[in-house]
Structure formats: C-alpha cells, structure tokens
Structure 1
Amino acid sequence: MPESQELQRNEGLSESVLAWIRGQCGGSWNIRDVRPLLGGISSAVYELILEKGGESARWVLRQYTDRVWLEEEPDLVAHESAALQAASEYGIMSPKWLASDDDGSGGGMPSVLMSRLPGEVVLMPADRVDWLRGLAQALAQLHLQGTKTFPWTYFSYIDPNRFSIPEWTGKPDVWREIARIIQGPEPAYTPRFIHRDYHPGNVLWKHGRVSGIVDWVNACLGPSGIDVGHCRVNLAQLHGSEAADRFLAAYLECMRGGQAAEYDPYWDMVTLACYVSDGLEVYRGWIDLGITHLDEDVLAERLDKYAEGLLQGHSASFTAR
C-alpha cells in the first residue's frame, strides 16, 4: 500500500496510548519497554515488553498510519482482528489477537494489539534449500486447513484489461502474451482461507524452523494460487527465478504430493502484473532489513526472466491438458 499522506507516527508511544494498552490487560502488567519494529511500510509497529511479578510477556502494537489505505479500507482493524482470530482457530502459527481500537479513540490511531511471536525475519539464509522448503511447508499447512466462512473475499488488485507492458522490460513480447492470458477467464478454484500477503518478510524463523506467520490484515477467502504467486514474485526478486521454482516444487510436494493443490500459472501471472503495475523499485521493507544487493536493473532482469519462465510453464501446462 502507498505510504503517502500518513497520519502522524509516534516516535515513542504517548502516555494515553500506554494507558489504553494497560487497560487491555486490566492494569496487571507493567510496560517496561517499547521498541519500534522495522520492515513495515504502511503502519507503525512496536514491540512491548511487559512484566508482572516474576513473569514477562511480549506484545505487538500495530498502528495504521496510512491515510489513503484507511480511506480505501476503513475496516482494516476489524479485518486484521478477525483474521488473527481465524488463524488461531485453524491452529496456524500466528500472533494471538488481544485487543482492537477501531477508530483510534483509545490508542491514538486505529490499532491492533497482539502477542509477539518468537523468531526473526530471514531474507538471506545460509541454507537456501531448507529455507525455501520451510516457507513452502508453512504455506501448505495454511492451505490444507480447508475453508471456513470468513467475511472478506478475494478481489484482484488490478484490472487485467488495463495492464500496460512495463517500459523497462527487455522482453515486451513475453509481457504482451502474459497480458493476453490474464485478460482471459480466471481458472476455477476452491475458496480457501489465504494470507494474501505471504512472502519471506512476513515469516518468522527460530533455530532454523518457521516459528510463525505475521501481518494478516489482507487475509481472505480466495484462490490459494495468489499466496503462491505472491511469494514467488518476491523470491524471484530476492534470489532469482530458480528460487521461485524450487519453492513451487516444494509447495506442491507438501500439498499431499500436489493432489490437494489447485496450482495454475495464471495466478503467478496476475500477481506479477499487479506487482509491476506501479513501477519498479526495491521494496523499502527489505532495505530496512539490510538488503543491499538489489537495484532497479537487477529487478528488471530478474522479473523479465521470471515472466519468461511463467509463460513457458503456462504453455507446458496447457499442452498437458
């Protein structure tokens, strides 16, 4: 989401916000420390360290600061709160919802208070094969939970009929064919509870294993291929097309050997088209987390190669039908 027209971000947290947080725990916890967390671009996120007697706890406060996003989706707090509760009901490794402030009357800004999961984001792993498999396993475990009623449903972030070929591409014919395909009918799919923003920056790791998935505000019922495609386009940029392909192979294997998967390259293509529709730039969240090896030229080369591979995969799948 865009980060223009932000509401005022707190450098720390005001006493009124801290009082609201204390009120959510009945005043039994003492807030020892507040630490800003990096990696997000459209909200301010803080880690709260609390004490009570000899116990300690870590919570996270997410404050929505993007005015444009709030105007477009005024139910953001309700959406994330419901998604966190649904993920918990599914048994998915996710933060536990604690409290909400829909209009900012208590927390100063529209806010969600949740538990803090252990672990950290890993973008440049020492063992890429195990890392990709871990990402795939975590996503497959989410998708294998099946479907339940959920108020928010999938919609495309772009109108495929208005998609324009990127000006930076060295392979315009590839993108022209992708545009033609995504302007066709969507593949049939079984609506599943999906994360909708699944990528390495929203997955936490501890001791070499996935410890949780965060940032559930976009969760909805929709095609599982959207989660796959979103992760793959991020992997293609961070590590190249081979990493995206390894992730897909591991995901299909985790989905009961592919039997439970409804994979179609269409979803990769429409996700890619959405990703580049606003121009090409290195994701600021990656920069905040220490990524220095990417620039626009590298991204353009990698996304051209990824697009070409998607088209080849689509042709192969079409021939096999």
Structure 2
Amino acid sequence: MNIGQHQEQGAGWAATRAWVEKQLGDGERIESVERLVGGWTSTMRRLDLAGPAGDGRRTLVLRSFVKPFYLRHAPGLLTREADVLRLLGPTDVPAAELQAVDPDAEHCDHPSLLMGLLPGRIRLDEAAAGRRAALLARQLVRIHGLSVSERDRPRTYQAWTAPDRVRLPEVTDRPHVWQRAVDVIRRDPPAHRSCFLHRDFHPGNVLFTGDAEDLRISGVVDWVETSWGPADLDVAHCSTALALLHGPDEGMRFADRYAAEGGRLSLDPAGHLYWRMLDALAFAPDAEKVAVPWRESGRTDLTAPLLTRRLEEYLEALLRRYG
C-alpha cells in the first residue's frame, strides 16, 4: 500500500483537510502531506503532524475513496474497516489505531478514514520471499484464531467471481486447463467451518521491518473486506498473490506453510480446490488489477503476459495436486 510516495498537491481535498484538522489535538497542526502510491482502491495520504512549538510529532494516514465504483460502496467499506480496527485494538494483530471516519462524506470531499501510521513497508521483491511467506502464514493463523462474539462478527464472505463471469485469456496453449478450472467452481460452496477473515490478505497489505533473522511483520492493513467464512478462502487469496508475484511454486507452498503453523484447512481435497479456484479465477485473465500497484511499488517485471502465464501454470498445478 505505501511503498512509495510523492508530494501532495492539495487539489480536491480542502474539505477533507479541514475535517482532519478538527480531529487533531490542541496545538497540533499538519506540517506536511504526501500521497502514498501503490494502492488500487483508494487514495492514501501520509500526514506528518507537529505539536505546539514544533514538538510532539506524530504521523497519521488518511484513506479516501475517489473512484466511482468505490464511492458507491464506501459507506459499507469504511464503516466495516472502522469497526474492525476498533475490534483489533486490544488484540495482538498489528493493525492501525482508528482516529476518525467519515464514511458518507458528510464533512469531507470524499468518504474518508483517518488512522495511525504503522511502522515498516511492504516488500514485494524476490529476495527472502520464502521467509516472508512463512511469516505471512503465521500471521494469518493468528488472524483466523481471533475470538469474535456473534454480535461483532463481520459480514459473511462474498465470492468475487462465478463460472459465468470468468474471463478467459484470448490466446492460450492450454484451454483445457482453464475449462477444468471453471468446472471446479460449478457447484455449491462446500461445507466449511467459518472464522474471522481478513479477506484481502496478501503481500501488498502487510508491512515488514528488519532483515534476515530480524525480519518481522509490523502491520496488516486494508481491512475493508473483512468477512466471516472459511480459512481456505484467505489462504487461497494469499496463495494466488504469491503465485503471481514469485511464481506458481511459491503459491503452492503457502497452504503447507499455513498448516505447519497450526492452521486448519479443509480435509477434503475437492473442497479445498474449490476455494483455491474461486479465488484464482477472479484474477483471470492477466491479473492486471493487482499488477498496477505492484508495478508502482517497483515490480516492473510483472507484465500482463507474465502474469497470465503464471496464473495458468498455477491453475494447472492446483489441478494436478487437488484435482
């Protein structure tokens, strides 16, 4: 989400800035604003604050939905994220501290949420990809293990594709792979045990600090899609992202890493395959949606042809193992 940044020009957010200033402490002021790059759904700003006489510095992050599609869904998305951040506050999950939210843009130029800045940065490079994946698996097990009262449970998960909505690549040497993959999700969802899901857990939404043996997860961000559903679905989403970022082998290893950390997945191979395919096919045909922020974050090698090939090889590997 925040691998890079450029100087904020101030256009189109005057009302939002005024709202932010009302949330600050006595004597605090906004000293500088920078636009964070690498996000897809929303505009992210880093706000550096200074207290009276320039002391008492702290930093906040402002999320604003500006794209038409997300504007329509902003009230639900931002209200959900605000509720989740409150819920996670007393837990050991490294989530941002909620400061304020204006989900209906009653005061802001666009629907917005203000939160604390977490330490660290996203890391999408190939170096130490396996080590990071192991930490991702451990963190996801902890998220799924959260005890949530029935009253505080988020909404039931929503599927992001369906057999009749899957877009297939126009050119492929393996059309049978795609057809078999689509056929896997031509059924009712398998029986499953539900738990607390991040629902968009992948390397682009996790912050790291340190290197080598000191490498640590310092933050998990972007809780707007938080849901209640099968752990297999969160594992599937991160697996697909790893396959696209680092190749099919890394994507195939993630479920094993998750299980090794104590995570519980479906014991039925066909059921597990359903969730893996339901997620992977939502990226078809070329995963350009995720590639845009990843390329902005430095992975310029992730071209559409490369992503299409990796996704196809990943589908084939899933069918070999679980089909």
Q: Establish whether TM, by shorter chain, passes 0.5.
A: yes
Larger deviation, residues 56-65 vs 238-247:
238-247
CA distance in 1, matches of 2:253, 2:137: 9
- Normalised to the residue count of structure 1, the TM-score between the two structures is 0.87
Task: Name the structure 1 match of 2:40.
Answer: 41
Quote how far apart the aligned CAs of 1:240 are: 0.4
CA distance in 2, matches of 1:112, 1:192: 26
The share of aligned pairs that are identical, in percent, is 33
Task: Name the structure 2 match of 1:4.
Answer: none
1:158 corresponds, among 150, 157, 161, to: 161
Larger deviation, residues 50-59 vs 267-276:
50-59
2:265 corresponds, among 236, 261, 265, to: 261
Matched, 1:249 2:247: no
2:185 corresponds, among 182, 187, 202, to: 182
Ranges in structure 2 where 5+ consecutive residues have no aligned partner: 1-7
Larger deviation, residues 87-96 vs 177-186:
87-96
Deviation per residue, 1:265-303 (Å, 9 max, x gap): 2211010111116x5536110111011112122112211
1:193 corresponds, among 189, 193, 196, to: 196
CA distance in 1, matches of 2:94, 2:256: 23
Residue-pair matches, total: 302
Task: Name the structure 1 match of 2:205.
Answer: 202
Ranges in structure 1 where 5+ consecutive residues have no aligned partner: 1-9, 316-321
Q: Tell me if structure 2 keeps the 8 A contact 1:29–1:50.
A: yes
Deviation per residue, 1:166-192 (Å, 9 max, x gap): 333322112211211111121222221
CA distance in 1, matches of 2:248, 2:233: 17
- Normalised to the residue count of structure 2, the TM-score between the two structures is 0.86
CA distance in 2, matches of 1:237, 1:143: 24
CA distance in 2, matches of 1:72, 1:25: 27
Matched, 1:312 2:311: no
Supply the AA of the counterpart residue of 2:30.
I
Task: Name the structure 2 match of 1:95.
Answer: 96
Deviation per residue, 1:47-82 (Å, 9 max, x gap): 111122432211100011111222245422212211
Supply the AA of the counterpart residue of 1:292.
T
Task: Name the structure 1 match of 2:87.
Answer: 86
1:221 corresponds, among 224, 228, 231, to: 228
Larger deviation, residues 150-159 vs 11-20:
11-20
CA distance in 2, matches of 1:111, 1:58: 16
Question: In the superposition, relative to structure 1, how do residues 162 and 61 fare at CA in structure 2: closer, same or farther (>3 Å)?
Answer: closer
